[in-house]
Amino acid sequence: MDPKYHPRLIEPKWQKCWNDHGLFDADHGKARERHYVLEMFPYPSGNLHMGHVRAYVIGDVLARYYRMQGFDVLHPMGWDSLGLPAENAAIRDGIHPKQRTEQNIKSVRRQMKSLGLSLDWSREIATCDPSYYRWNQWFFIKMYERGLVYRRTSLANWCTGCLTVLANEQVVDGICERCNKPVVQRQIPDWAFRITRYADELLDDLGKLNLWPERIVSMQRNWIGRSEGVELRFPIKDNGSDHIEIFTTRADTVYGATYVVLAPEHAMVAKLTRSEQKSRVEAFVAEMSKIERARRTDAGAKKEGVWTGSYAINPFTGEEIPIWIANFVLADYGTGAVMSVPAHDQRDYEFAKQYGLPIRIVIQPQPSGEVEKHLACSDLSQAFTEDGVLYQSEKHTGLSSAQARIQIAKQAERQGIGGITIRYHLRDWGISRQRYWGTPIPMVHCEVCGIVPVPIESLPVLLPEQAPITGTGEAPLAKVPEFVNTDCPKCGKKARRETDTMDTFVDSSWYFARYLDPGEEDLPFKRESADRWLPVKIYVGGPEHAVMHLLYFRFWTKVMRDMGLVSVDEPVERLLTQGMVVGESFWCESHGYRSRDGVDDPESSEPKCTECGRTLRVRLEKMSKSKLNGVAPESMCEQYGADTARLFSLFAAPPEKDVEWNDRAVAGCYNFLRRIWVFFLRHHQRVEGYRDFAGPLDESGLSLELIALHRSLHRTIAKVTADIEKEFQFNTAIAALMELLNGCKVLDDEVDGFAEGVDPDRKQKTEQLLFMVLKNMVLLLSPFAPHVADELWKNLGMSGFAGEQPWPKFDPQATQEDTIQMAVQVNGKVRATIDVQREASEDEIRAQVEKNEKVQKWLEGKSIRRVIVVPGRLVNIVVG
Ligand code: ANZ
Ligand code: ZN
């Protein structure tokens, strides 16, 4: 055995060895129980960062652990390789997205391999591969046939300089990030998935996800945003037949509705605008069309609007109330129109104050205590938004808000002016992108037949290799005549292909199922494989995907179920969202972010800029290139080895928490592995004769310290097992291994004593214990630090790989504490509890009880008739 721990020598060797033996290939055809462990696949951006490493290592520990627990484990990897970054880079420097993506995949794959991840590389997929995206197209057509895909127009960011649609992240404060020209909101025809059809099920099934973090579940619940309310028609003054339909969740406040507000994009705006208001309204509508939805509706945004010049009639009070348009009403929620109740809605209140509109209180707080205190308008400094008791509401006055909502809805129904409805905040999923590096949408526009899907047997519609990628003007595919011009699949006449490509969230909505049969040509995957492997048991990834990706792939799973492709309702049983890896960033007022090299004494409390001597602002921020606070996993692996990188990313914090980068902690992990190495170096030859020893260990004759070590070994096995499986607390599992190693000092001492001659029986038992410690330590270590584990396993003279061995079992008896609590009763009443040695005999227990002061008090002046000992539980003394 090499006297020194050399990770750089042993790691590549074992990686090759595992690979040659196909150690991580799933599906050995054995009838074993299955376990699918998945991490969110990466966008291959060239370099892994520590955040990736953390997610993949967390998944890897679980995959390795479940293999050792005897499961057939599927642990695949692939590339989310279509999308905007490669296209933007192409616009910048002219390198074709395909070429760049292929290079990046190569380099990320190499980096992953050097981490020793136990992946089944035979199932690798890349979404930019036609053999993958043809199935996106297949799904699209199947979903079109089911009415789950439709064409619509929707508002998009339109750059007035580039003459193209922009993604939200390309718009900064209403300006195009690239050309600095204003961005406006424009109606653009696009394709959408009807995810809202599944809104109810997506919401209800959140109840089944009891192994998902509560935070993610509630974010999804809010995102779907089910809202029960009432639709009401407000007739328009002087135009009896026309009306505005509003949606409200507070029908109880209808007597306080003093004006109506429409979204600027509402279809009735033009018709309702009086000529004297026309120029103001048009200017406002134009102004609003420039502002993105999120900015417009931010709760802090100033409320702005204009009057249309028209009036509506409040159908409950009969009053004429003005019709306005305003920024805070959205066109695509509810009916795009609201009845405004300024006394009870904060936005309406702010708006009414701003424009001098009437405020009327119609809800009073629930009376509490004796004095009835009425709210008056002069008391209001903001809206009273809680439920309460109706006030100034004709025959409904005195009802509670909840009762009134029902009564008012019923009355509206009777009068034929409205009724109860359910609305969702969830929108249909717009998937059209006017981009190149995506899946072509497999549709054809024919002047005669209209929209015609590409026949399934003609798939894939290939992405043409050459297209002008400029980021301006029409979609890149529209500029490729060989692509655009085609024949109508229905009538054969000249037609045009759709030139939009799909949102890449389509790719990630079903990739987990493609891993099951990556080469399958007749279907996206086989039903029998789906039945064998799904649902994914554990899914590891960043919490930033809480809504979009994690909602879309739940939706897709339900669609696949309805198509008969899978039988599960949900894709993932257990979700683990890992925290960020953060590092100290240093920021100088005049020189911006500084790397550690640009900081004078980074450890001091007032670090200075080496350039100008200014004191730097120090912060913990997510590691990133731009903040110069990152550590490249590659350089870390080079310095310390993959096993240390793995240990550190698990040891520094529990998986859900952020991890702070810390050089000393990294060195600490490295040191731990070195100390294990030294411990093995010292003892591995001594245990040569015990390779078959499988316990149990006979403790008799061993010193108390060794017995304690034996116990501690079993307790460590129990703890590491529970920490991994139940709680994912890898950090405390590793800490337990470190503690076990510390406890092994007694073995060193004991063995040193052998030189002076020792009882052979005791020597043998000690060496058996030594062997048990060495063997189990390797096995417990192997999911975390697999390379060094296999090297040590080999040095112990054991055959096979550590990762192939059964996970260690503990002896429940040996894990128990050495003392136990017993209750002491006197004549059937508990009078004391005592701690007794687990092995204590009945006589010893009796003696201990009789000496106990509390017990003695009850025995005073009495004689003991009988003592009954129920082992491990209680002692009853019968006195007379
Ligand atoms: C009158 C009212 C009185 C309201 C009151 C609230 C409090 P959720 O829970 O999100 O569904 N609303 C309806 N459509 C809207 C739109 N397109 N844009 C902006 N706001 C809209 O919210 C429903 C409430 O949001 C509705 O109830 C409506 O204001 C407003 F004391 O109607 B309410
Ligand atoms: Zn046609």
239-261 pLDDT, tens per residue?
Answer: 868 999 999 999 999 999 999 99
Residue 370: per-residue pLDDT = 62
> Which atom of ligand 1 is found nearest the CA of 334?
14
Cis amide prior to 696 (ω within 30 degrees): yes
The H or E element containing residue 182 is: none
* CB neighbourhood size of 793 (10 A): 24
Residue 248: per-residue pLDDT = 97
Q: How far apart are CA 251 and CA 425, in angstroms?
A: 19
DSSP string, 63-108: HHHHHHTT-EEE---EE---SHHHHHHHHHH---HHHHHHHHHHHH
Buried b (16+ CB within 10 A) or exposed e, 78-93: bbbbbbbbbbbbbeee
CA-nearest residue, atom 10 of ligand 1: 227
Q: How far apart are CA 290 and CA 154, in angstroms?
A: 14
Q: Is the dihedral of CA 618, 624, 625, 629 positive or negative?
A: positive
Q: Is the pLDDT of residue 632 over 90?
A: no
Of 234-243, 403-412, 541-550, which has the strongest mean pLDDT?
A: 403-412
Question: Ligand 1 pocket check: which of 231, 250, 420 to mutate, most ligand atoms within 8 Å of Cβ?
Answer: 250
Scanning 190-231, the segments in alpha helix (DSSP H) are 199-204, 214-224
CA-nearest residue, atom 29 of ligand 1: 248
Q: Is the pLDDT of residue 507 over 90?
A: yes
Residues bordering ligand 2, an ion, CB closer than 5 Å: 446, 448-449, 488, 490-491
How high does pLDDT run on average in the chain? 91
Residue 76: per-residue pLDDT = 97
> Which atom of ligand 1 is found nearest the CA of 333?
17
CA-nearest residue, atom 12 of ligand 1: 338
Among the bound ligands, the one closest to the CA of 489: 2
CA-nearest residue, atom 18 of ligand 1: 329
More confident residue, 647 or 470: 647
Buried b (16+ CB within 10 A) or exposed e, 403-415: ebbebbbebbeee
Nearest to 784 by CA among 636, 653, 652, 650: 650
When pLDDT is averaged across residues 751-771 and rounded to a whole number, the result is 83
Q: How far apart are CA 316 and CA 396, in angstroms?
A: 11
Question: Ligand 1 pocket check: which of 227, 333, 408 to mutate, most ligand atoms within 8 Å of Cβ?
Answer: 333
DSSP string, 756-786: G---HHHHHHHHHHHHHHHHHHHHHHTTTSH
Nearest to 443 by CA among 405, 504, 482, 484: 484
* 173-214 confidence digits (pLDDT tens): 888 887 888 888 888 899 999 999 999 999 999 999 999 999
Between the CA of 475 and the centroid of ligand 2 the distance, in Å, is 23
* 119-168 confidence digits (pLDDT tens): 999 999 999 999 999 999 999 999 999 999 999 998 888 888 888 888 77
When pLDDT is averaged across residues 847-864 and rounded to a whole number, the result is 86
Residue 282: helix, strand or coil by DSSP? helix
> Which atom of ligand 1 is found nearest the CA of 249?
27
Between the CA of 451 and the centroid of ligand 2 the distance, in Å, is 8
The H or E element containing residue 239 is: strand 239-248
β-sheet with 183-193: strand ranges across: 164-166, 149-159, 183-193, 429-430
Q: C-alpha 201: how far from its chain's center?
A: 20
Contacts with 477 (C-beta within 8 Å, 6 or more apart), sequence order: 436, 440, 463, 464, 467, 483, 484, 497, 499, 500, 501
Q: How far apart are CA 687 and CA 192, in angstroms?
A: 67
Nearest to 123 by CA among 571, 525, 552, 565: 525
Between the CA of 452 and the centroid of ligand 2 the distance, in Å, is 7
Residue with tokens 């053999």: 131
Full-model pTM: 0.85
When pLDDT is averaged across residues 89-116 and rounded to a whole number, the result is 93
CA-nearest residue, atom 31 of ligand 1: 344
Ligand 1: residues whose CB is within 6 Å? 227, 247-250, 253, 263, 328-330, 333-334, 336, 338-339, 341, 344-345, 423
* 272-303 confidence digits (pLDDT tens): 999 999 999 999 998 888 777 767 777 778 89
Q: For residues 413, 415, 417 and 419, what is the CA-based torsion angle, rounded to 10 degrees?
A: -10
User: Do the Cβ atoms of 877 and 849 come closer than 8 Å?
Assistant: yes
Beta strand pairing call for 259-262 and 175-176: unpaired
- The first and second tokens of residue 284, run together, are 């406002």
> Which atom of ligand 1 is found nearest the CA of 332?
17
* 296-314 confidence digits (pLDDT tens): 777 778 899 999 999 999 9
The H or E element containing residue 832 is: strand 829-837
When pLDDT is averaged across residues 477-501 and rounded to a whole number, the result is 96
Between the CA of 443 and the centroid of ligand 2 the distance, in Å, is 12
Nearest to 588 by CA among 564, 565, 607, 561: 607
* pLDDT > 90 fraction of the chain, expressed in percent and rounded: 64
Residue 29: per-residue pLDDT = 64
Among the bound ligands, the one closest to the CA of 451: 2
Contacts with 508 (C-beta within 8 Å, 6 or more apart), sequence order: 40, 41, 80, 127, 549, 552, 553
More confident residue, 455 or 604: 455
Question: Ligand 1 pocket check: which of 222, 253, 345 to mutate, most ligand atoms within 8 Å of Cβ?
Answer: 345
CA-nearest residue, atom 14 of ligand 1: 334
Q: Is the pLDDT of residue 28 over 70?
A: no
User: Do the Cβ atoms of 806 and 694 come closer than 8 Å?
Assistant: no
